Chains A and B, each alone.
Chain A
Amino acid sequence: MISPLVRIQRGDFSLQDEIDALPAGRADIGAVVSFIGLCRDEAGTLAALELEHYPGMAEAEIARVAAEAVERWPLMGLVAIHRYGLVRPGDQIVLVLAASAHRRAAFEAADFMMDYLKTRAPFWKREHRADGTLGGWVEAKADDDDAAKRWDLAP
């Protein structure tokens, strides 16, 4: 069974670099699904998002679900990278890559990883507004919990 790669980092990441590193010389991978979450500004009012995290637990918790994904689907590669610190609208926040022989397992594993990351990985977003003021903490969404429940993994 493969070892998932989990990274929690302040800096940016490169999708292409991670895909290039993924197959590691094997030619039996037939599908790679990638998901990138971006910092979104809906109304032109957001200067940046500040991502607070729980060092140690963030890595441990994402590694636990990655291990579960590897148990549930026949994966040949699995990567989860989550940034912390200040990110600006348009910046990348999170990357999930799932590789398998066929597309279905790769799609499902990536979907599962993101539903989990939303509800169980210890990260908290706070808004910094374009007018220079500090906004509030982003509130958790009930539909994220509902999405995670599809996999029987809600907190």
Chain B
Amino acid sequence: MSNAIAKAATGARPVRIVYFAWVRERVGLPEETLDIPTDLATVADLVRWLKARGEGYEAAFSDEAIVRAALDHVHAKPQARLGDAREIAFFPPMTGG
């Protein structure tokens, strides 16, 4: 209970962020758990916040229109609201099949 209050007071919540292919290579990590500000409303907001974290992120998201995202295993557009997604993924356009 006191933890929940502290979290709300600091305005951050933990999310698992996963990266694939060249996005993973540029960020330098396959995944991480970050406390993201609760005032980040959309996928695009989160991307801008991540880009401020360092050069690797800046390189990964240098062309924001290219990188795709998924919220809890479902494709999401840049303007999609983060809601209470627990796992957020970023990756290049897909080349399976």
Contact = CB atoms under 8 A, between A and B. Distances in A.
Interface of A: 37, 51-54, 56-57, 60-61, 82, 93-94, 114, 117-126, 137-140, 144, 155
B56 to A, nearest CB: 16
A27 B5 CA distance: 63
Nearest to B25: A137
> Taking chain A's interface residues, is the majority helix, strand, or loop, or is none over half, making it mixed?
mixed
Interface stretch (B6-14, B57-65, B86-94): B86-94
Contacts of A119: 93-94
Interface string B41-79: 000000000000000000000000000101001110000
A124 B92 contact: yes
Contacts of B95: 118, 123-125, 137-140
B73 A52 contact: no
Contacts of B91: 54, 122, 124
A155 B20 contact: no
Given A52-B20, A122-B70, A155-B75, A57 B96 contact: no
